[in-house]
Amino acid sequence: MQIRECTTADVPLLAELNQQLVEDERAESNLDLSQLSNRMNGFIAAEYKAFLFSEGDTTIGYALCDLAREPVYLRHFFICRGERRKGYGGQAIRTLLDHLNIQKIDIEVYTWNDRGIAFWKSLGFETRCYSMRLDTTK
């Protein structure tokens, strides 16, 4: 598996993949593709780094990391829909950790994302805290 750091030229692809991630996670986001592109540009211009995973000419997925945090915070992680259930998720995480030369990484997973929780636990991630929100508009 290859990994490469993204540039602003990759933002259109990253925004499309991010849109699929939002759909798959059932995230609380109603940003359109243009807004996701703008947000991704902002991430990359700040302290975040995006990475694309590939096998040959096939894009496998991407990761978006906040390298300013200790440990590194993995904000987005996405394996393309057609590439799932092939072992690429675990391989991509190991590739990312090796590339960044780190041994610890933090993530957040929505409580309703049972598949995501099972995936992360299968890689050895452990629950450390619960994030909670009060929304009086509901």
Asked, for residue 129, whether it belongs to a domain, the answer is no
Q: Which residues contact residue 13 at a Cβ distance below 8 angstroms, ignoring those fewer than 6 apart?
A: 52, 59
Residue 136 lies in a domain: no
Cβ-in-10-Å burial (0-12, 13-18, 19+) of 96 comes to buried
Greatest Cα pair distance, the chain, in angstroms, is 49
Tell me whether residue 86 is in a domain. Answer: yes
Residue 128 lies in a domain: no
User: Which structural domain, as residue segments, surrounds residue 52?
Assistant: 2-122
Cross-strand pairs, 126: none
What is the predicted pLDDT for the residue at 28? 75
d(CA 62, CA 41): 15
Asked if residue 35 is part of any domain, the answer here is yes
Quick check: is 137 in a domain? no
Whether the Cβ atoms of residue 14 and residue 33 lie closer than 8 Å to each other = no
pLDDT at 133: 82
Three-state SS at 105: strand
Give the CATH number, domain containing residue 104. Answer: 3.40.630.30
| Number of separate domains in the chain | 1
Give the three-state DSSP class for 39.
helix
Classified as helix, coil or strand, 64 is strand
Residue 105 forms part of a structural domain: yes
Q: Is residue 138 in a domain?
A: no
Question: Digits of tens for pLDDT over the chain (138 positions)?
Answer: 999 999 999 999 999 999 999 998 887 778 899 999 999 999 998 889 999 999 999 999 999 999 999 999 999 999 999 999 999 999 999 999 999 999 999 999 988 899 999 999 999 999 998 888 888 987
